[in-house]
């Protein structure tokens, strides 16, 4: 154990906690889902002024870094359909959002989106990442745009997987009713209904992940900063002068053709695609295609300066 800790400190400047968590059942469920990653990974904690950030790290040590921001309440384990493919050539850093279920621990006051962005900066600083590609899914896509706007000198490329509330308001529908019902009273039945509205084939979602998601949402408080999420102004989005990949599903509960239309109109360097036979959960519905689109996009847009860890 001490040898492992010393290696993690040497490699990251941070370490893996050995303390017993308050919510042991959720942590066990989290680790069970991580077993689906099918690749070698490390779990590390990065100290920040707001508490400790939990990050799942995988891929060659000296490879170009990809920072992954998960969807609402999804935690970093949601990347299980993508981790193996993305980490073959790149170093992936999947960060658990500090105000939702996951292993990040909040000890300080977090009352504004500016503080959330500062937290992310402290996390990537702790990981010794100067520049990186930022990948965000759903709510993580909105957060990724926010971070790219705040720290444009650190983000080389921006990859958005069905981002919510970014370019247009979420389209109303029965899926929103299912989400609201689940949020009010999380149950296995409501979870299955909610996920069926987000995925074209919810049966493909691993049971281990569903169980973890249910445990997490049952035992967590709502992120009150969610009310801050609204579409970005054209003036702000026009400043995102970097390569952007935007993917949505053709049966996407959160996005429509309007999302693509708005992004093309505003973003200087955007590439878009509506993925066939996919809902909002793109990485589950079409994992191989999504992985390949991400890898191809990165290859297509090489960075002019060397990115990675010090």
Q: Where are the alpha helices (DSSP H) in 47-131?
A: 83-87, 113-126
pLDDT, position 268: 92
Mean pLDDT within 47-67: 97
pLDDT value at position 280? 96
pLDDT class of 184 with cuts at 50, 70, 90: low
pLDDT at site 219: 78
Please state, rounded to an integer, the average pLDDT across all residues of the chain.
Answer: 89
pLDDT given for residue 172 in this prediction: 61
**In this predicted structure, what is the pLDDT of residue 186?**
74
CA 186, 165, 100, 57 dihedral sign is positive
- Between residues 221 and 74, the one the model is more confident about: 74
What pLDDT score does 127 carry?
A: 98
Would you say the C-alpha torsion 254, 170, 135, 122 has a positive or negative sign? Answer: negative
Q: If you search the block for the tokens 């590609």, which residue do you land on?
A: 133
Share of the chain above pLDDT 90, in %: 74
Can you give the pLDDT at residue 180?
Answer: 56
Identify the helix (H) or strand (E) that includes residue 52: strand 51-58
Mean pLDDT, to the nearest integer, of 25-51?
Answer: 95
Which of the residue ranges 54-68, 83-97, 185-199, 272-286 would you say has the lowest mean pLDDT?
Answer: 185-199
The pair of three-digit structure tokens given for residue 127, joined into one six-digit string: 């990981």
| Mean pLDDT of the 131-154 span | 98
Angle between helices 207-218 and 24-34 (to 10 degrees): 150
Gap between the Cα atoms of 176 and 129, Å rounded: 37
| Rounded (5°) CA angle 96-289-242 | 65
Predicted confidence (pLDDT) per residue in 37-46, tens digit = 999 999 999 9
- Pairing state between β 91-95 and 51-58: antiparallel
Mean pLDDT of 297-310: 72
Mean predicted confidence (pLDDT) in 116-141: 98
CA-nearest of 73, 84, 81, 10 to 41 is 84
Q: Which of 147, 87, 139, 121 is nearest to 298 (CA)?
A: 87
pLDDT of residue 218: 85
Which of 24, 79, 51 is CA-nearest to residue 209? 79
pLDDT for 108 equals 79
Architecture, CATH, for domain 2-300: 3-Layer(aba) Sandwich (3.40)
Tell me the average pLDDT across 284-308. 88
pLDDT at 16: 47
Spatial distance between the Cα atoms of 42 and 61, rounded to a whole number of angstroms: 11
| Residue 309 in this model has a pLDDT that exceeds 50 | no
DSSP-derived secondary structure letter, 96: P
d(Cα 210, Cα 205) in Å, to the nearest integer? Answer: 7
Q: How far is 151 from 153, CA to CA, in rounded Å?
A: 5
pLDDT at 306 over 60: no
Average pLDDT of the residues in 114-125: 97
**How remote is the C-alpha of 94 from its chain's centroid?**
7
Which residues lie below 8 Å from residue 185, measured CB to CB, with a gap of 6+?
Answer: none
Residues 213-240 have pLDDT tens digits of 999 988 777 677 887 889 999 999 999 9
**If you write DSSP's letter for every residue of 149-212 in order, what string do you get?**
HH-TTTEEEEEEES-SSSSSPPPPSHHHHHHHHHHHS--HHHHHHHHHHH-S-GGGS-HHHHHH
pTM above 0.85, yes or no: yes
Specify the 3-state DSSP secondary structure of 252.
Answer: coil
């Amino acid at each position: 154990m001490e040898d492992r800790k010393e290696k993690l400190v040497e490699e990251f400047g941070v370490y893996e906690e050995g303390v017993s968590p308050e919510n042991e059942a959720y942590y066990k469920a989290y680790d069970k889902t991580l077993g689906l990653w099918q690749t070698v990974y490390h779990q590390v904690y990065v100290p920040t002024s707001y508490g400790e950030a939990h990050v799942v790290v995988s891929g060659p040590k000296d490879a170009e870094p990809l920072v992954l921001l998960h969807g609402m309440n999804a935690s970093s384990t949601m990347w299980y359909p993508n981790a193996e493919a993305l980490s073959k050539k790149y170093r992936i850093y999947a960060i658990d959002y500090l105000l939702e279920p996951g292993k990040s621990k909040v000890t300080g006051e977090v009352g504004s989106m500016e503080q959330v962005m500062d937290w992310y900066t402290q996390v990537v600083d702790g990981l010794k990442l100067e520049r990186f590609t930022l990948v965000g899914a759903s709510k993580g896509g909105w957060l990724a745009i926010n971070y790219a706007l705040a720290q444009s000198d650190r983000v080389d490329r921006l990859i958005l997987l069905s981002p919510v509330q970014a370019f247009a308001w979420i389209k109303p529908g029965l899926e929103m009713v299912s989400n609201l019902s689940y949020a009010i009273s999380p149950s296995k039945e409501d979870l299955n209904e909610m996920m069926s509205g987000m995925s074209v084939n919810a049966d493909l979602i691993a049971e281990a992940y569903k169980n973890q998601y249910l445990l997490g949402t049952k035992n967590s408080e709502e992120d009150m900063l969610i009310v801050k999420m609204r579409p970005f102004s054209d003036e702000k989005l026009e400043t995102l002068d970097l390569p952007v990949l935007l993917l949505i599903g053709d049966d996407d509960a959160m996005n429509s053709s309007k999302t693509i239309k708005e992004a093309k109109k505003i973003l200087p360097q955007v590439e878009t695609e509506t993925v066939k036979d996919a809902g909002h959960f793109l990485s589950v519905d079409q994992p191989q295609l999504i992985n390949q689109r991400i890898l191809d996009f990165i290859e297509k847009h090489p960075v002019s300066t060397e990115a990675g860890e010090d």
